Structures are given as C-alpha cells and as structure tokens.
Structure 1
Amino acid sequence: MTPGTAEETLRSNLTQPRTNGTDAEKTVRSASEASGRAVLFWIAGNARTLGRVVRLGARASALMAVDLARARFPMREALVQGWFFVSVSAVPAVLIALPLGVVIAVQVGSMTENVGASSMAGAVGGMGVMQQIAPLAAALLVGGAGGSAIASDLASRTIREEIDALRTMGIDPHRRLVAPRILAMSFVAPMLAVLVILMSIMASFAVASIGQGVAPGSYWLSFGSFASVTDLIVCLGKAAVFGYLVAVIASHRGLEAKGGPKGVADSVNAAVVLGILACMVTNLVITQIVLMFVPMRFL
C-alpha cells in the first residue's frame, strides 16, 4: 500500500462517523418536521370541523327563525321528534333522578348532622340538584338517547343517499330535518331537567324525613329560603343550551357519515361523546358567568 493510499484510507475513516452523525441528525430533523406537520394538519382539520358545526348550527337556527316567522316551519316533524325524545328519555330520567336524590340525601344528611345543622339539609340538597345535577343529568340523557337517535337517523339517510336526493329535489335538509330536531331537543331538555329536579328532591326529602329524622317543615323551609326563581331559570337555560348543542353536533355527524354501516356506528359514537363533552365544557363556562353576575344567596 502506497503512502498516498494509506493517507486517503485514514482520511475516509476519520470522516465516516461525522457523515453518519449528519445523516442521523437529518433523519431526526425530518421526523420532527413530519410530526409537526401532522400536528398542524390535525389542528387544522379539527378547526375546519368546528367551523362546519358552527355554520350548521347558525344556518339551521336562522332557517328555523325565518320559517317560524312565516308560519312555514314543519311543526309536525318537530312534535314527532319531541315526542320520540320524551319517550326514550323520560323513564331513564326517573331512574337516574331517584338514586341521585338518595345519594345526595345520605351525603348531605351525614354532613349537616356532624355540624349540627340538620335543618339545612333541604337547602344544600335542593340547591345542588337545581344548579348542577339536573342540567348535567339532562345533558347525559339527551346526549345518550336523543343524540344517538338523531345521528343514527341522519347517518342512515346519508348512507342511503336520501340526503342527496332531497337536495336534488330542491329540499334543504337543514330546513326539513335539522331545524325541527334542534327545536324539539331544545324544548325536551328543560322538561327532563324539571323531571330530574322533582324526582331528586322528592327522593331526598323522603330519605331525610324518614331515614334521618329531619322535620319535614324545616326541610322545605330551608329549601324555600335559599332556592329562587333565578336558580330555576338558570337550570332551564342550561338544559336548553345543552339540548341545542347535542342536536347540532349529532346532526353534523349524521350528515357527514360515510363508509356504510360502520360509518353510521362511528357517527353515533362520535355524536354521543362529543355532545356530552361539549355540554360539560359549556356547563363550566355558564357556571362561572352566573357566579360572576348572580352571586349566591346567604341568610
């Protein structure tokens, strides 16, 4: 081996690790850039989906308002959908409200007894039911029963190309199908909240008066001293907003279903999960706003 050849071999061996290091750095950089682009694409896709949901809700609400003003709203469809939502949600509402009332009575009763304020059991339990439990229970009911029904119905129509057929005939699906469901759900959700309030408070009263020895008069007196019409209005307003959100999200998922029967199942699953999640986040926002402008009452 000549000196020149040995020198070239040594130089190539010295520079080889640096080349490998540079290639590894390039690989890591390209992988990080690909991950960054994937995250950006995911964020952009979710933002576009949110935009389509907002646009659907705004357009369906505008069409509903215009049709109601012109007396052209498909009220029969809204009544049919409303009765269906009530039929699938009323019994579960009672079954949810009774255990909730019993649990609240037991927990609140043990706490008030420890501090020597058993007469305040009605105020604590009733306020908790009206302010938080009833709207959230209504959100779970309309999100699980009503939202899945809306998503499955519209997704099945979309898969069978009935929605495209309506558009071909000049019928707007938002006006004919989405708007009546939004109106029906916005009315049914407050009704379910009232049912939950009634059954929960009655169950709590029965446990407190019979099982814990609380005087019936003191229970209702403490409840009436703290509860107000404002609390009931806020509860019903929350439930109406939750029903509206669930109906819009379920309608959007149903109208964008694709992929055959699997697409229908995916739409129903997404509608239920996203609807309940949106209600939880909205409940947090509304609660903070109410506490800012409507402070709690104290005797």
Structure 2
Amino acid sequence: MAAEASRGLLVDLVRGRFQWREMLSQAWYLVTVTAIPAVLMAIPFGVVVSVQVGNLIHQLGADSLVGAAGGLGVIQQGAPIATGLLLGGAGASAIASDLGARTVREEIDALRTMGISPVHRLVVPRVAAMLLVAPLLNILIVFTGIVAGYLIAVGPQGVTPGSYWATFGAFTALSDVWISLGKAALFGFLVVILACQRGLEARGGPRGVADGVNAAVVLSVAAIIVVNLVITQVVAMFLPIRVA
C-alpha cells in the first residue's frame, strides 16, 4: 500500500491528474479535528517539561539552561509524538471509518469494476493531505509548547527572559527543527497508510468497520512509538552533542 500510494502520488503529479480538490478537502478536515486538541495538548506538555526540568536544573544552580532543555524536549520529542498521536487518533479513525464504510457498501468493488484504482482515487489524496497537515500541526505544537514553557520559566521559576532565549538558541539548532518536521511527516505517512489499509480490508458490515477503525488507531500508536525509538537512537549516534 505504501509503495503503490507513493508511486501513484508521483505519477498523478507528473501527469497532471492529481485530485487537488479531494486533497484540500481532506486536509481541511484534518486541520479542523486536530488544531484545537493540538494546542490543548501542547500547553500542558510545555508546562510539565519546564517545571520538571526546571526543578532539577535549579538544584544544580543552572537556571538559565531551562530554555535549552525545554527547547530540545519539545522540538525533538514532544511535538512529533503529539502530532503522531493526534493524527493517529482523529485522522486514522476518520479515514478508516470512511474507507471501511465504502468497502462494506461495495463502492470499492464498483470502482475496480469500472477500471478505477481505489488507491489512486481515494488513498493518494489522503496521503498527500496527511503529509501536508502533519508538519503544519507539528509547527503549531512546537510554538505553543515553547511559549507555554517560557511563560512558566520567566514567571514562577524566576528565569530571566534573556538567559532563557540565549541558552535556547545556543543548544537548539536548525537541524533539530528539520528532524522534528521529518518525524512528524513520517508519523503522518504511517498513520494514513495503516488507516487506508484497514479501511479497504473491512469486512462483515458495521462490525467490520468498527474493528478496522480500532485496529488502525492501535497500530498507528504502536508504530509511532517504535519508529520514534529507532529515530531517536539514530539521531543520538550522529548528533550526540545536541541530544546530550
């Protein structure tokens, strides 16, 4: 499914047959169901990172390093995982239920009978929409989490704004942002492929659709956790100083 969808996306773009309207419709739906939960998730995450790390650093007498620790924690780990979990919960369930309902109503079989590939017609626009929305959602979570951590650091914890941003800029590099965006896009790709696969494999009426949705969400979360662990280890090998 992943290989066929990727190949179909490139072919449709080259031939000028890409379904832009369907892609924009799916992207807008993903934004509407994930934007507000993303902000609500990013605020407590930024606060928790700032408080927990700040208390530890305060005992060491290095309060100014709160900015560096909070920035790395939110950008490299918190934002991509939060993005993947939101897309895996809201996005995967919506995509799997939509395609599953089409499958049990035999709409997918009708497309194949007419010589229309369900992957090109249904999967490719959803893959493109997910790849568009995932980095944007990641940026929103990064911004909200860092601002929330900053307000807690300069407020209750008494860190000066200048030292916070100085250490944040000294320890956080542009490569950290690119890694975060890449992880978010990869997580979104995993989510949409799993959701489409489970939706197109739905059998047995409404019960089959419900089982497909449940499997899509569970597998998406598990895949995100495992892939994030692998990426973190690879990044630690090549950028040990930044991670440390």
Which TM-score applies when normalising by structure 2?
A: 0.98
Task: Give the deviation of 1:298 after TM superposition.
Answer: 8.8
Following TM superposition, the consecutive aligned residue runs of length 4 or more in structure 1 with deviations greater than 4 angstroms are none
Taking a change above 3 Å as real, the CA distance of residues 63 and 220 of structure 1, as seen in their structure-2 partners, is same
1:79-228 alignment, distance < 5 Å:
79-228=24-173
SS of residue in 1 equivalent to 2:158:
coil
1: CA distance, partners of 2:120 / 2:197: 13
Which of 261, 265, 268 is the matching residue for 2:210? 265
Structure 2: which amino acid aligns with 1:213? G
Structure 2: which amino acid aligns with 1:255? L
| 1:85-138 deviations in Å (ceiling 9; x for gaps) | 011000000010001111111111111110000011000011111111111000
2: CA distance, partners of 1:186 / 1:291: 25
| 1:36-85 deviations in Å (ceiling 9; x for gaps) | xxxxxxxxxxxxxxxxxxxx110111011111111111111111101100
Report which structure shows greater RCO (CA 8 Å, sep ≥6).
2
Which of 229, 235, 240 is the matching residue for 1:290? 235
SS of residue in 2 equivalent to 1:262:
helix
Which of 177, 180, 185 is the matching residue for 1:232? 177
Structure 1: which amino acid aligns with 2:185? A
Which TM-score applies when normalising by structure 1?
A: 0.80
| 1:123-168 deviations in Å (ceiling 9; x for gaps) | 0011111111111000100000001110000000001111111111
2: CA distance, partners of 1:128 / 1:102: 11
Structure 2: which amino acid aligns with 1:186? L
1: CA distance, partners of 2:93 / 2:6: 21
Taking a change above 3 Å as real, the CA distance of residues 89 and 298 of structure 1, as seen in their structure-2 partners, is closer
Identity over aligned pairs, percent: 58
Gaps of 5+ in 1: 1-55
Deviates more, 1:288-297 or 1:83-92: 288-297
2: CA distance, partners of 1:298 / 1:124: 10
Taking a change above 3 Å as real, the CA distance of residues 232 and 298 of structure 1, as seen in their structure-2 partners, is closer
2: CA distance, partners of 1:206 / 1:140: 25
2:219 paired residue number: 274
2: CA distance, partners of 1:298 / 1:226: 9
Contact (CA 8 Å) 1:226, 1:298: kept in 2 or not?
Answer: no
1: CA distance, partners of 2:231 / 2:134: 16
CA RMSD of aligned residues (A): 1.2
Contact (CA 8 Å) 1:94, 1:199: kept in 2 or not?
Answer: yes
1:4 paired residue number: none
SS of residue in 2 equivalent to 1:212:
coil
Taking a change above 3 Å as real, the CA distance of residues 173 and 298 of structure 1, as seen in their structure-2 partners, is closer
2:4 paired residue number: 59
Task: Give the deviation of 1:293 after TM superposition.
Answer: 2.1
2: CA distance, partners of 1:298 / 1:138: 20
Structure 1: which amino acid aligns with 2:242? R
Contact (CA 8 Å) 1:122, 1:205: kept in 2 or not?
Answer: yes
Contact (CA 8 Å) 1:88, 1:145: kept in 2 or not?
Answer: yes
1:3-42 alignment, distance < 5 Å:
none
2: CA distance, partners of 1:139 / 1:260: 29
The count of residues paired between Structure 1 and Structure 2 equals 244
Contact (CA 8 Å) 2:236, 2:243: kept in 1 or not?
Answer: no
